[in-house]
Amino acid sequence: MPLGILSELFDLDAAFVSLQKDPSADDRALLSRSEVIDLTDRLTDFTETSALMSCLDVVISVDTSLAHLAGALGRPVWTLLPYTPDYRWLLDREDSPWYPTALLFRQDERHDYGRVIERVRDRLNERIEAWRAGAATPGQSADLLNLGNTLKRQGRLDDAFRAFNRAVEIDIDSPAAWKALAQLLADMNRRDEAALSFRHVLKLDPDDADAAYQAGFLSLLSGRSQDALALLDRSCQLRADHAPTLQMRGSVLKMLGRLAEAEADMAQAHALAPEDAGICNSMGALLCERGRQEQALTWFDKALTRRSDLTLARYNKAQTLGRLRRFDKAFAIYAALSCLCCIFVWKMVPETKGRTLEQIQQTWSK
C-alpha cells in the first residue's frame, strides 16, 4: 500500500510513527514532508522493532511480518487485508483466533483500500476521543474485570468476553486482564486462543505458575505433548507442591513413553493429595502400561473407594481384569456400564465370539 493512502489519517490528533523499513523513493519523499516520526534507520532487527512497538498504542499495518510481530507481542494491531486474504486470516470476521488483540479491516472490493481507510479513520477517531476523554484508565480496566466476572457467573459468556477484551485494550500490560480473558476463552472452548493468552500472561508475569499449568493443559488437549511438557515443567519449578500439575505432567510423560519419570510424578502427586481419586486412577493406568496389572487393580480400588462414581476407574479396572483373564469379574463391571462397553467386550473378548449382544446381556443380567 502506498504511503499516500495512509496519509489520509495524518490530520487526526495523534502522533504517527513509521515502522516501514526501506520505503520506496516516493514514500521516503512523502515521509520527509510529513510529521511522521521515522526511526527505522535504528531498527536493526525485530528486537528493536518490538521495543518501538511496545511504546505505541496501536499498530496499523497491511499483512506483513509487522502485523504478525505485533500480534505475537500482544500489542493492539489493526491489519488491513485484501479482498482475498491469506488463509490464516480466515473469512467473515473482524478478529483473529491467533492474535487476541488483532482487529481486521477487509477490502469490500478488489484493490480498493479507500473504504478500508475510511473505516480505519472512523475507528481511530473513536479511539482518540476516548483517550481525550480519559476513558482508558487502569481503574476502568478493573471495573470491566468485575463486570466480566459477574457476566460470566450469569452464563453470559459473549458479554463477558467483550468486557474482558475491553479491559485488555485499556490496560494491555495487565496480567490479571489477560488471565481473565484466557480463562474465559478456555470456558468457551476456544482452546488455541486461550493457550496463546495464557502464554502472554507468562510473558507479563513469568512467575505465574497457574498460567503455565493452564497453558500446558490446553497444549495437551491440542495434542502438543512436548509443548505441554515444557510448560508443566515450568509450572512445577514455580510450584513444586501442586498435585494436579504433577499428575498432568505424569500423564504427559506416560504419553511420551517416559514411564519411570511418570510414576515418580504420580507418586509425588498422591503423597500431596492422598484422597484424590483421579490421581489413584492415573497411577493405576500407568502401572498397567508398565505391565504391573495386580498393582494397578489395587490403585483402581483405591480410586473407587474415594469416589465410587468414577466411571473411568471402573472401566480401567474391568479392562485390567480382562487382561488377567478374570472375565467373570470384568463382565460384571462392564454390565453396569454403558452398552458401548458391552459392544467393546463383545468385539474384543474371545469367549464372546459367536454370541449376540442380546445373549451376552441376558447372561450378565442373571
CATH number of 136-240: 1.25.40.10
In this predicted structure, what is the pLDDT of residue 9?
93
Q: What torsion do the CA atoms of 120, 123, 128, 133 make, to the nearest 10 degrees?
A: 180
In this predicted structure, what is the pLDDT of residue 159?
86
The whole-angstrom separation of Cα 276 and Cα 280 is 7
The CATH superfamily holding the domain 3-132 is Glycogen Phosphorylase B; (3.40.50.2000)
Picking from 250, 321, 257, the residue whose alpha carbon sits closest to that of residue 280 is: 250
Helices 311-323 and 293-306: crossing angle in degrees, nearest 10, is 160
Angle at 170 between CA 175 and CA 148, to 5 degrees: 70
Residue with cell 454370541: 355
In this predicted structure, what is the pLDDT of residue 85?
93
The segments of the chain whose pLDDT lies below 50 read 339-354, 356-357, 360-366
Rg, C-alpha atoms of the chain: 28
In this predicted structure, what is the pLDDT of residue 347?
45
Main-chain dihedrals φ then ψ at residue 59, nearest 5 degrees: -105, 130
Mapped onto helix, strand or coil, the DSSP state of residue 138 is helix
Q: Which residue spans of the chain are classified as CATH 1.25.40.10?
A: 136-240
In this predicted structure, what is the pLDDT of residue 206?
94
Find out whether 304 and 313 touch, Cβ atoms under 8 Å. yes
The whole-angstrom separation of Cα 81 and Cα 60 is 11
For 52-78, how does the pLDDT look when each residue is reduced to its tens digit (9 = 90+)? 998 888 999 999 999 999 998 888 899
Return the C-alpha cell found at 76: 493492539
In this predicted structure, what is the pLDDT of residue 126?
87
Helices 277-289 and 293-306: crossing angle in degrees, nearest 10, is 170
Q: Which residue spans of the chain are classified as CATH 3.40.50.2000?
A: 3-132
Return the C-alpha cell found at 332: 460384571
Backbone φ/ψ region at 99: left (φ over 0), alpha (ψ -120 to 50), beta: beta
In this predicted structure, what is the pLDDT of residue 139?
64
In this predicted structure, what is the pLDDT of residue 129?
83
